[in-house]
Amino acid sequence: MSNEVHRYGDDSKLISDISQIIFTYYPHGFRVDSIIELMKFKDQYKTVFAEELSLSDSDLKWYIMQSGNLFEGKVYIVSQEAKNKVKYIVNEYFYTGALSIFYEEFYRKNQSWLFENSVISEEMLQDVFKELYPELKFTLTYFGLLDLTVKEMIERELKRIWGENTLKRFEEMVNQLDYIPAERIKFNLSTENEFVRNSADVYVNIEKVYISHSEREQILTTMQKMCEQKNHVTLNDIPIDDIIENNADVSITALQHAAYKLCLEDFFDRKGKVILLKGATVNKTTDQATNTTEYVRNYLKTIDTISLNDLINYVDKIFPNASVGGKMASSQKAAYTIMNRISKDMFIADKFVSFDIENTDKAISKFVSDDYLPIKAFTTFALFPYCGQEWNMYLLESFCIRYSKKFKLVYTLNHYSNTNLGVIAKKNYTNNYSEIMADAIVKENIPLLEPNIKTFLSESGYLQKVLPIKANEIINIAKSMTRP
């Protein structure tokens, strides 16, 4: 009579035996939800160990899941050799003084051999890290010696590797911070908090800028007097002449940022380039703008990001008597001409995007084979070159409004909404929006009846709501196009 293995025996021995079978015979993972695979597993176990597994399918599945890492329905076994290699690489990196390793970057740079050793995802890599380093701090994006926000950790790492020089090239930072993604380093540098851009791919560590105690006192006193007289000033007003000599390699713009951070931050508030005494508000009568849109444009030039809701609230405070529609139109018109829309609710400054205009136009050309195409027809952006932000229909609108050499955004007068209405048209295409809609109706052979027109225009992304008077106008234009 053959021996039998029960769940109530030595769990650790059974789990070890099961791990051995999966590692040896299932290098591409064991599918735990397959009844057929479970039956084959029992046969394999009997062949290897000359013992029967008298476990139910649910019990066997439980043991198999304890033996390895589950990913997308399969259990994988990571060898001790692979874990040792991970530990060696991590230890060597931390011995250099590093504080953190970001999962995505470690996996990207070691993906080939990790995948061959059944570590087939970042999630599985995290499990390996947690098994090897239970004493360290784990966050959603990295693990290391400290539990900080991503921004705080990258700032700490940048300061660690900076050295004594005031300036440092971006390429050097990436090479020294081997397991922090380059794009995360770049974004952190762009926030202009502890570091500021000096020239192309060269940055200043503000803490390394030399400003003597007497120079700091003089800058503070001068700026306080200016704000008392003018209500608000800008970074360009900071008197930096006396600190240029001791910081010869630092650009004027970087010196202005450093002077604010080191001399003024405790006593002033800053919005972009605008500086006010703490608690003060901008006196709009000192601004030279003559209308709402221009005033908002000037404001948007001084900030990095703003939500649509915050923008509308800002306009409401400055121009409380303007109509609701006017505030909405002015807000979005200004934002689209100064900033870049990246979502339904968010606009960002130009420094956060870097468009490859030529290749982006080529990607758009793959879709717009005719004279125009509704924005909502762009259902994938896989062909679009990376620009620093995730592509979507909102960012496509911004690109065509401000950057494209070959395409433009054409839309109804009431375009400024959150519904991605309108078309991307070739720049040399001259039809107005009503003519474009009529042309689309003719090309698609839509019956020239009001219900059919409304349904087509709404579902295709031309108009959100089609009023009878607009439907009749488009029908008349379409009829004129079909006449012999």
Q: What is the pLDDT of residue 324?
A: 64
Which amino acid is residue 228, in one-letter code? E
Dihedrals phi, psi of 426, to nearest 5 degrees: -65, 145
C-alpha pair distances (Å), 226 with each of 43, 220, 276, 419: 86, 10, 10, 45
Helices and strands (H, E) in the chain, number of each type: 20, 20
pLDDT < 50 stretches in the chain: 1-8, 285-290, 414-415
363-370: long-range contacts, CB 8 A cutoff, minimum separation 24: 364/396, 364/400, 364/404, 364/406, 364/407, 364/424, 365/406, 367/424, 368/407, 368/424, 368/425, 368/426
Nearest in space to 185 (alpha carbons), one of 210, 160, 165: 160
pTM above 0.75, yes or no: no
CB atoms within 10 A of CB 306: 20
Residues linked to residue 51 through DSSP beta bridges, in sequence order = none
Q: What is the pLDDT of residue 414?
A: 46
Nearest in space to 216 (alpha carbons), one of 261, 167, 171: 261
21: its two tokens? 């079978």
Q: What is the pLDDT of residue 399?
A: 94
Q: What is the pLDDT of residue 93?
A: 95
Q: What is the pLDDT of residue 287?
A: 43
Nearest in space to 269 (alpha carbons), one of 319, 305, 306, 233: 233
Spatial distance between the Cα atoms of 130 and 305, rounded to a whole number of angstroms: 36
Pairing, β 52-53 against β 4-5? parallel
Pairing, β 346-348 against β 340-341? antiparallel
Q: What is the pLDDT of residue 289?
A: 35
First and final CA of the chain: distance in angstroms? 94
Dihedrals phi, psi of 256, to nearest 5 degrees: -65, -45
Buried b (16+ CB within 10 A) or exposed e, 215-252: beebbbeebeebbeeebbbebeebebeebeeebeebbe
Q: What is the pLDDT of residue 318?
A: 66
For residue 443, how many C-alpha atoms fall within 13 Å in the half-sphere facing its CB?
11
Domain 287-352: give its CATH code.
1.10.10
Helical residues (DSSP H) of 319-355, grouped into ranges: 324-338
Residue 116: burial class (beta carbons within 10 Å; 0-12, 13-18, 19+): exposed
Nearest in space to 400 (alpha carbons), one of 351, 457, 340, 330: 340
Buried b (16+ CB within 10 A) or exposed e, 91-115: eeebeeebbbbbbebbbeebeeebe
Residue 398: burial class (beta carbons within 10 Å; 0-12, 13-18, 19+): buried
Q: What is the pLDDT of residue 365?
A: 93
Report whether 67 contacts 77 (CB < 8 A).
Answer: yes
All residues at 6 or more sequence positions from 338 whose CB lies less than 8 Å from its CB, including other chains: 297, 300, 301
Q: Which residue has the tokens 């070959």?
A: 406
All residues at 6 or more sequence positions from 43 whose CB lies less than 8 Å from its CB, including other chains: none
Dihedrals phi, psi of 442, to nearest 5 degrees: -65, -45
Spatial distance between the Cα atoms of 202 and 198, rounded to a whole number of angstroms: 6
